[in-house]
Structure 1
Amino acid sequence: MPYGILPVTETHASAVLGGSRVTVEFRALGPVEAVMAGRPVDLGAPKQRTLLALLVSQVGRPVTVDVMMEALWAGHPPPSAMTSLQAYVANLRKLLEPDRAPRRPATVLRTCTQGYLLDADATDVDARRFVEHAKAGWQARGQEQPQRALSEFEAALALWRGQAYQEVAAVPCVVPEVARLQELRLSVVEMRCAALLDLGAPEMAAAELEAFMKANPLREYGCELLSLALYRAGRQADALEVLQTMQIRLTEELGVDPRMALQRLRRKILNQAPSLDRHPTPVLPAPAGAGGPVAAPREGSAGPPPAPVADGEVFVGRETALRQLTEALDAARAGRGRVVAVSGEPGAGKTGLLRRFTGPTGVPVLWGTCTEHATAPSLWVWEQVLRAAATAFPQYPMPRPVAELLEGDTQRPADGTEPSGAALRRFEAIVRYLTGLSRSGPLIVVLDHLHRADPGSLRLLAHLAESVPASRLLLVVAYRSHEAPVLAETLAALARGEMTRLELEGLTPQDTRALASALLRREVSGRTAKELWGRTDGNPFFLREVIGLLTDDQRLDDPRAVPVPVLVREVVLGRIARLPRPSVEVLSVAAVVGRNFDIAVVADVVPVGIDAALAALDTAIAAGLIVEDQRRLGWFRFTHALVAEVLYETTGRLRRARLHRWIGAAADRAGTAERTAERTAGTAPHLLSAAEGSPAPAPRASLSIGG
């Protein structure tokens, strides 16, 4: 899977290598690229690029003429091969040292007795930085600094754009290095997921590891991490199935038994060993002298308020939502049960809010999470709630219909329907059991990710809600806002009682500053926080991922230059992949237009009729990716700048240049009848961007800018 490019300046490269001679940055974790003074270098003909890729793969080591001939002409060089090779070397020297005086010895691509070599001190190769980030991540995890470890692993993976040394990956002397880097990349993916588990994010780790294991089915450590992540995410059966599948695969394909760690993990899961429970490492600002210096606040600045911590995770903001939840719990304590519905976009922090709220209450909490990555039996989320109830209240006998549900003695259709009123009798038994438990004191029932619930679970929820007002139950459900239509009937049933709705929006710029300062363990300026907020709209998930890549002062000064984090990219692409193809095509063009776009211009470029373009956008709006501009008719907006960034980056450079040209022309046509200053200003950037593919639009861009 391709990863984003992590920009590195000459200053950073010098710092990495500990010297000051670095003049060229090479990107070899994908198609070979060279960057000088922040600008990409045109590397010329394919064979010339291949030669450079070979030299980069052996940086600091001589490459003989014979090896070059083999790589360039597959062992069958023509009579003019030596002349061509010398010409390629001469061209590369001009590109890499354009200011070198005539007859002055080359310092980047040097001649040696065996052939040629790239000077290691004058170059910075992303493959070396990848290894350094990986080592730093392992060191941080060994020092129980999971947030720093996650940041290092993210930075390492962000350097990948395809196969390492793509042009020469099959050359014999390069094959071992390609294999080493690929194996290291797989290990970094696993360690990144381990860091996610350390930070208490098993759902995120499980989603990544499931895809990883499909591509690498014999990775035993990946299997171990996936099983642990599934168990901590409340998917015990799935965790055991993963281990069983690995055992069968190893036995039948390789004739070996799983390593002891997998066998021990299986026994622990079967016994529900307490050691498997999540114990996230706190991510707190370290006191001075306890593990390294902490940046002191600037003089005259009060700095952001301290961030409270829940479950070892930094938590900020949400004061209004916490107050409303507390008021609902107080009502339940007084015998007036309440239902609270918490909604928000993906990554808004619904689960984090509920963990923060329930942690210090001292009230028993029965938590159920609806599964997404597997087809669960009917009432699966309620099984989790009822098992938690049996553990929390062992002194209260469980009614037989409830016990039968947990023991699996009943056949339950996937839609939750059962003949002869059996479902209603079971529902009544569950309702009496839960409301009865609340007689001795308030009780909180949480159903997370409700939008994934099966029909039977939703019917039971509606049935329980009718009895909540006369109990001491606080029933809290959480779901994604854009998934509300599938819950319309259930939400209507909940609304007939005493229900409080909480819609979580993005964090404020002040909360963003507090979160960044706590995670980075240093004060973050208001300007940096504002730029972080502008790029993420305060979405806590996006914020945490972007903040994790702010590893140096330069990035703190310009967080807009931080690449899209890998996990954010995968989440966004996963949501886009669920859209129909016409919607993806329209969104891809819209992302090149910009975060705000005129649908008439996009429809002209795609090209489709305006009605077809609007129909395609309806699906994206329903998915929460696009919103309509209420001030300008026909204009729309990506809900997050990062969504537009991901789409833009996944569009090839040549296609982007062509799209910019077409967008500029379409904007001109759209503005013919009534050419406004806004359309004029909006056309010029596209014409300038189009000039990368062809210089023809540049004069018109200059005229547009000039008015």
Structure 2
Amino acid sequence: MQAWVSGRMLDLGTPKQRTLLALLVSQADRAVTTDVILEALWEGNPPPSAMTSLQAYVAKLRKVLEPGRAPRTPATVLRTCARGYVLDTGAVDVDVHRFVAHAEAGRRARDREDPRQALREFDAGLALWRGQPFAEVSGVPWVVPEVARLEEVRLSVVEMRCAALLALGAHESAVAELRAFVKAHPLREYGCELLSLAMYRAGRQADALDVLRTVQASLSEELGVDPTLRLQRMRQRILNQDPVLDWQPAPAPAAQPAAAVAGGVLPSHASAPSLPPDDTTGDVSVGREAAVRQLTEALAAAEARRGRLVMVSGEPGAGKTGLLRRFAERSGVPVFRGTCDERIAPSPLSLWKQVLRAADAAFPRRPAPGPVAELLKGVAAQATVGTDAAGGDRRLFDAVARHLTGLSGTGALVVILDHVHRADPASLRMLVHLAKSVPESRLLLIASYRSDEAQSLAGTLAALSGAEATRMELRGLTPRDTRVPAGAITGGDVSRRTAEGLCARSGGSPFLLREMVGLLAGEQRPDESGAGPVPAPDREVALYRVERLPEPAAELLTVAAVAGRYFDVEVVAEAASIGIDTALAVLDRAIAAGLIDEDGQRLGWFRFTDVLVAEALYATTGRMRRGRLRLRIEAAAGRAWATGRAAAGPAPAAIAPRT
């Protein structure tokens, strides 16, 4: 921890004074109670004189931090608040905040395909690092999440910096940087992907393949998982010496037209210009004609000063982000986008800062009002933390609403908030607040979220119920829709029966369909049933959906998967040694998550609605355990049928080869 005033380094005093300052800086603009401070300074055992000592430390730090402050005037840096103290960043500059600002600026430059500017921003941010953040208090429970967040951002910036080097043709420099990075972080697959690409472009094909073999072995030995489909495709492309891997000079950055401005922090692998693009499923509008029509009608209403709020939901991989991106590209009006990165915990109002920065770029002659400008500088970012909707920073929220609706005065604007189920509470309160101003403006506000995580938005959705929001749920593609993208990936016609099989296995999910057909296309044509191995990304998604259910869910559904796609709950519960009431409670949650359906004809019978979930559970169960489970299922079924408990009819149909 170091501090300067007017270019002069300060003497921060004793270790406890330094620890106090580090704690306050780590929680900048947030009140830290004296109880937390005493716990941190004396490691849970403060002496009777601790409060007197704390007050002395505060007085000395104030004298050092504000040497020119007149006697008996209020402190502006280290302020007293209810039950504790707060460090006010309105009066100081914190390098941590500057690092995050450089990281976000670099991402924006990367997204507009300006690798030179991205590299400058990333270098400026990384130059601020001198070691572990907040080393004096890195073990304090309040500080641990912030340290982890900053470290994750730093690793992402290193990866994105190397992607920028590759985009500029600096392959050898990227190899040198990435070899050290991958050695320190061997399980970060994006870094390994970049290193293999850098080595290939540097004429080291064998070394590039060795990188992929090493990460595959590490993932298998340490985590028991396969590499992502991106790494598998990278290996195949290197073996085939695919021209798509060859370096092409980055295009000169063009000025962004107002109709195509988009802001937002994306995952580092989402749009890196130096990597070959993923295979696509063709036009994301296929099977989404009704959704596109609804969005187009909402935009037309906004043009007529009847602004709309549209809430778009769907299961993971349903194509929400792709649909909104395509709509934004074709809208013909300015689009401001904010998204929540699933790998990084959101900071307060981070979603709206992305939107407002994009608005600033699109309207340079319409400067943001004071409160909004303060938010973008980080001054007001923490002000809304811990408050409820009624007691939030109304001044800031009103200013944001006036600013965005004011910009729409001369023509329609679109604000897209993607993945709001991951948004911070302050961003959600801002969404509710702005929704009240939308109907009388030319603003089209679109928010997307995962339907299986709608519970985290229960309060927000309830608050929006009076906002006349349009609700859109993206459901699975039909077999007819499936034939178009499947044919585009395989490079030929796909029969109706094959499309039906693929649609059944993927549940109509564009993401799962793309991964499934992509894997099959690299090995063999899909057979008439659409069958084939469950791709690793699909398996991970399926198992993640099961892990989100209550504790006995994995065991119960594993037994059900061995039984078949259709199963009798009493038989499966007995075979799993789970009480029937517990089993029914688990199935209620599985039904709500869209994994299971109840048979409308036979009481007590259920079926997997998502075949890939059943197949993933079956595939990850060992052969010997599957055999033992079958014996228990058969015994339980025999007892059930003998006593007449089970409905008459054939045994459940198999969902996978019983080997």
How far apart are residue 614 of structure 1 and its match? 1.4
How far apart are 1:397 and its partner, in Å?
1.2
* Partner of residue 348, structure 1: 318
Residue of structure 1 equivalent to 2:473: 503
Cα distance, 1:605–1:444 mapped onto 2, change above 3 Å: same
The structure 1 residue matched to 2:462, chosen from 486, 492, 501, is 492
Does residue 1:396 correspond to 2:335, yes or no?
A: no
Deviation at 1:187, TM superposition (A): 7.0
Partner of 2:621: 651
Is the alpha carbon distance of 1:522 and 1:509 closer, same or farther for their aligned partners in structure 2, counting shifts above 3 Å?
A: same
Distance in 2 of aligned mates of 1:188 and 1:540: 20
Cα drift, residue 162 of structure 1? 5.1
Larger radius of gyration: 1
* 8 A contact 1:338–1:469 mirrored in 2: yes
Report the TM-score, using the length of structure 1 for normalisation: 0.54
* Alignment CA distance shift 1:154-1:322 (3 Å): farther
Q: Does the alignment pair 1:359 with 2:342? A: no
Tell me which of 441, 460, 464 is aligned to 2:434: 464
Question: Does 1:437 pair with 2:407?
Answer: yes
The answer to whether the 8 A contact 1:315-1:515 is kept is no
2:618 and 2:599 map into 1 onto residues whose CA distance is 21
- Given the superposition, is the C-alpha separation of residues 561 and 282 from structure 1 closer, same or farther in structure 2, using an over 3 Å criterion? closer
Q: Find the partner of 2:640 among 670, 692, 695.
A: 670
Structure-2 residue corresponding to 1:408: 378
Q: Match of 1:620?
A: 590
Letter in 1 for 2:338: G
| Match for residue 607 of structure 2 among 637, 649, 653 | 637
- The 1-side partners of 2:523 and 2:230 are apart by 29
Aligned to 2:122: none
Cα distance change on mapping 1:493 and 1:419 into 2, 3 Å: closer
Query: In structure 1, how many angstroms separate the alpha carbons of the residues matched to 2:630 and 2:655?
Result: 8
> Match for residue 450 of structure 2?
480
Q: Within 2, Cα distance between the matches of 1:492 and 1:526?
A: 42
1:378 to 348, 353, 378: 348
Residue by residue, what CA displacement relative to the aligned partner does 1:369-427 show, whole Å, maximum 9, x if unpaired?
Answer: 12322222111111111111111111101011011111111351684528996611100
Aligned to 1:579: 549
Corresponding letter in the other structure for 2:503 = W
What do residues 25-68 of structure 1 show as CA deviations (whole Å, max 9, x unaligned)?
Answer: xxxxxxxxxxxxxxxxxxxxxxxxxxxxxxxxxxxxxxxxxxxx
Greater shift, 275-284 or 537-546, is seen at: 275-284
Corresponding residue of 2:126: none
After superposition, the Cα gap between the structure-2 partners of 1:620 and 1:450, relative to the gap in structure 1 and judged at 3 Å, is: same
Report the residue type matching 1:564 in the other structure: V
Alignment partners' CA distance in 2, 1:618 and 1:282 = 37
**8 Å CA contact 1:381, 1:457 repeated in 2:** yes
Q: Is the 8 A contact 2:369 2:403 kept in 1?
A: yes
For residues 628 and 193 of structure 1, the distance between their equivalents in structure 2, rounded to whole angstroms, comes to 45
Give SS of 1:395's match.
Answer: coil
> In the alignment, what sits opposite 2:538?
568
Choose from 595, 607, 610 the match for 2:580.
Answer: 610
Q: Which runs of 5+ in 2 are unaligned?
A: 1-192, 202-210, 243-261
Q: CA RMSD in A?
A: 4.3
Q: Output the amino acid matched with 1:549.
A: L
Partner SS for 1:378 = coil
Q: Tell me if the contact between 2:413 and 2:442 (Cα under 8 Å) persists in the aligned partners.
A: yes
Cα 1:444–1:638 shift into 2, 3 Å: same
Residue identity opposite 2:643 in structure 1: A
Decide whether the 8 Å contact of 2:348 with 2:426 is kept in 1.
yes
CA deviation vs aligned residue, 1:632-672 (integer Å, no higher than 9, x gap): 33222223111111101111100101111111121222222
Query: Aligned AA for 1:633?
Result: L
Report if the CA contact (8 A) 2:336-2:415 is conserved: yes
Q: Is the 8 A contact 2:566 2:652 kept in 1?
A: no
Alignment-derived partner of residue 95 in structure 2: none
Cα distance, 1:557 vs structure 2:
2.6
State the partner residue of 1:519: 489
Q: CA separation of 1:340/1:624 partners in 2, compared to 1, >3 Å: closer, same or farther?
A: same
Change (3 A) 1:193 1:381: farther
Alignment of 1:6-155 (within 5 A): none
> How far apart are residue 347 of structure 1 and its match?
0.7
Q: Which amino acid counterpart does residue 681 of structure 1 have in structure 2?
A: A
Give the aligned residue type for 1:545. Answer: E
* Aligned counterparts of 1:628 and 1:323: Cα–Cα separation in 2: 33
Q: What is the Cα deviation at residue 188 of structure 1?
A: 5.2
Tell me the SS of whatever aligns to 1:479.
strand
Summarize the alignment of residues 218-367 of structure 1 with structure 2, pairs less than 5 Å apart. 234-235=264-265, 281=277, 309=283, 315-367=285-337
Q: Does the Cα contact within 8 Å between 1:589 and 1:606 map onto a contact in 2?
A: yes
Amino acid at match of 1:386: L
Instruction: From the superposition, tell whether residues 522 and 454 of structure 1 become closer, same or farther in structure 2 (CA, over 3 Å).
Output: same
Contact 1:415 1:454 in 2 (8 A): no
Q: 1:419 to 1:404 in 2, by over 3 A?
A: farther
How many angstroms apart in 1 are the aligned matches of 2:624 and 2:300?
A: 60
Instruction: State whether residues 667 and 679 of structure 1, in contact with CA within 8 Å, keep that contact through their aligned partners in structure 2.
Output: no
Q: Which amino acid aligns with 1:488?
A: A
Aligned-partner Cα distance in 2 for 1:460–1:321: 25
Mapped to 2, the partners of 1:325 and 1:161 lie a distance apart of 42
CA gap of 1:193–1:469, structure 2 versus 1, over 3 A, is farther
Equivalent residue number for residue 94 of structure 1? none
CA separation of 1:655/1:409 partners in 2, compared to 1, >3 Å: closer, same or farther? Answer: same
Between 506-515 and 671-680, the greater mean CA deviation after superposition: 671-680
Letter in 1 for 2:483: R
User: For structure 1, which runs of at least 5 residues remain unmatched after alignment?
Assistant: 1-133, 143-152, 167-181, 199-231, 243-274, 285-306, 693-707
Q: Secondary structure, in 3 states, of the residue corresponding to 1:671?
A: helix
What TM-score, normalized to structure 2?
0.58
1:549 aligns to what? 519
- 2:40 is matched with none
Task: Find the counterpart in structure 2 of residue 295 from structure 1.
Answer: none
Instruction: State the aligned residue count.
Output: 431
Instruction: Give, in whole Å, the separation in 1 of the partners of 2:387 and 2:480.
Output: 49
Q: Secondary structure at the match of 1:397?
A: coil
CA contact (8 A) 1:667 1:683 kept: no
Contact 1:154 1:192 survives alignment (8 Å) = no
Return the letter of the residue paired with 1:443.
Answer: L
2:655, 2:416 → 1: CA distance? Answer: 50
2:651 partner SS: helix
What CA distance in whole angstroms lies between the structure 2 residues aligned with 1:643 and 1:466?
40
- In structure 1, how many angstroms separate the alpha carbons of the residues matched to 2:549 and 2:615? 18
Percent identity for Structure 1 against Structure 2 = 53
User: Secondary structure of 1:347's partner?
Assistant: coil
Q: State the secondary structure of the residue aligned to 2:317.
A: coil
SS of the residue aligned with 2:521?
A: coil
For residues 534 and 159 of structure 1, the distance between their equivalents in structure 2, rounded to whole angstroms, comes to: 33
Structure 2 counterparts to residues 174-253 of structure 1, below 5 A: 234-235=264-265
Q: Which amino acid aligns with 2:303?
A: R
Pick aligned residue for 1:451 from 373, 398, 421:
421
